[in-house]
Amino acid sequence: MACNSSTCQSNCYRNQDDEETLEQHSPPANKAEAAAAMESCPVDTNGDGNTHLCFKCKSNERMSSSGVGDDGRFCSGCFRSNLFAKFRLAVTSNAMISPSDKVLVAFSGGPCSRVALQFVHELQVKAHKNFEASRDRSLQVFGVGVAYIDETSACSIPSHEMDSAIETIQSVVSNLRPPSKELHIVQIESVYSSNLGDRREKLKKLLDTVNDVTGKEDLLSHLRMLSLQKIATENGYNRLLVGTCTSRIARHVISSTVKGQGYSLPADIQYVDARWEVPVALPLRDCIAQELHMLCCVDGLKTVELAKNSFSGINGLVSSFVALLQEENPSRESTIVRTAGKLTPFNFSRIPDLDESNNVPLATKRRQKRNNVKHVNSISSESFCAVCNSPLNISDVQTLRSCETSPETANILSGTWCSSCQFQILPKDSTSQELFLSLLPPSMVARAIHGSTGNSNSLREQIQEFLLSDDEAES
């Protein structure tokens, strides 16, 4: 007896015609039937139907018909808003920018840093509009500066190409107003305190003493970060924003694992890195390079690409490997970063809390305290490598403590290095090693000497209650 109900699932009310209809609309039973069904489905290649419409707004055509990635699902407007939403979520959920901050954006001229600069500008414009709209003008607007590191002396870039690149960068920054932004163009050899000629000579000699190709590239990257930190500290910036994206982090994860830097890896892949004097923020951590490059093409954002020396070391091999994986599976880079993100972070992977004595509005302090991420589990580290500033593990700390007994500065410097820098960067023979240590920038030398004394004192204070006195040790 049929129940004559359209919601009944017992099939008691269906007749023969309904059974035929059910068979036509039922899902395929296996993969072969699913493939056949996909082939039989009509594909609208003219855009008259809904197959090429944006997945989000359902009104505009998609950027591409591949169906892979955000460009294959969204139109240009929704694609841009989706990228900006990722950026804004990273900034707000990790308290990267506060109204009272002065932010320095590291601009290399590439698509990633160009998008980061554009998004920061849009945040600043919105804050400036709110400031103009407020009655008492009490709302602060964070300041923005732009830093570009000239690596001509290290990478042998032709002078006419560098002059053209600097003109383009100046044009890009000048068009991002109001509010106006100060541009800092600094040579990478500025990490030395001597005159310009001696700086370039010291930098060339320093790089020439490194025989390993990978070590030379890594050392140049560390010097670049020191230059950015110097610009930030000398000009009063308290935030440093870099355009590091998912693609670059995925390559760094693989290369660091190959180099034996697994212990310090969690320090380099978080949204915030506060082990530096000026905390470093990664607002594009959730965006892949392909999407950022496409956004530059869609919005017509100017970029600068200089022909630098190609490296054939570990970093170059890993980049080729990850690029091949990304071609096979467009989500492979994101998978690598998400997997590495499960590692326990260090306690400095967040913006430091504001001091109560600072002249900062109470609302800003409350906002940072509310939005600043808090890691449930974190690793505490008091010792850092003098070159790459990576946290040192137990074996490296033991080496450091053994070198502290030596009065020679060279032994102290070589003892404050992580195992990866000792293997990749530090020369093997004693003569080249002494020359290399004598050519290190003053900031690296000061960090090594200060770290060797400060870290040992800090470690002793932590374990003081567990140490035996001289009388107890004799008995």
**The pair of three-digit structure tokens given for residue 188, joined into one six-digit string:** 């990478």
Q: Kindly report, residue by residue over 381-411, the tens digit of the pLDDT.
A: 668 888 999 998 876 665 555 555 444 555 5
Find residue 379's DSSP bridge partners.
346
Judge contact between 150 and 162, C-beta under 8 A. yes
Q: Kindly report, residue by residue over 119-168, the tens digit of the pLDDT.
A: 999 999 999 888 877 777 667 889 999 999 999 988 888 889 999 999 99
CATH number at 71-352: 3.40.50.620
Q: How confident is the model at residue 52 (pLDDT cuts 50, 70, 90)?
A: confident
Average pLDDT of the segment spanning 427-444: 89
**Nearest by Cα to 229 from 452, 413, 443, 445:** 443
Residue 262 Rama label (left phi>0; alpha psi -120 to 50; beta): alpha
This model's pTM is above 0.85:
no
* pLDDT value of residue 295: 95
Average pLDDT of the segment spanning 226-236: 96
Average pLDDT of the segment spanning 423-449: 87
CA distance 93 to 80: 20
pLDDT at 18 over 70: no
Omega cis (within 30) before 179: yes
Q: How confident is the model at residue 280 (pLDDT cuts 50, 70, 90)?
A: very high
Q: Kindly report, residue by residue over 56-97, the tens digit of the pLDDT.
A: 888 988 887 665 667 778 899 999 999 999 999 999 999 899
Q: How confident is the model at residue 252 (pLDDT cuts 50, 70, 90)?
A: very high
* pLDDT value of residue 157: 85
CA distance 25 to 404: 77
Start-end of CATH 3.40.50.620 domains in the chain: 71-352
Q: Kindly report, residue by residue over 441-453, the tens digit of the pLDDT.
A: 988 888 777 654 4
Percent of the chain with pLDDT over 70: 71
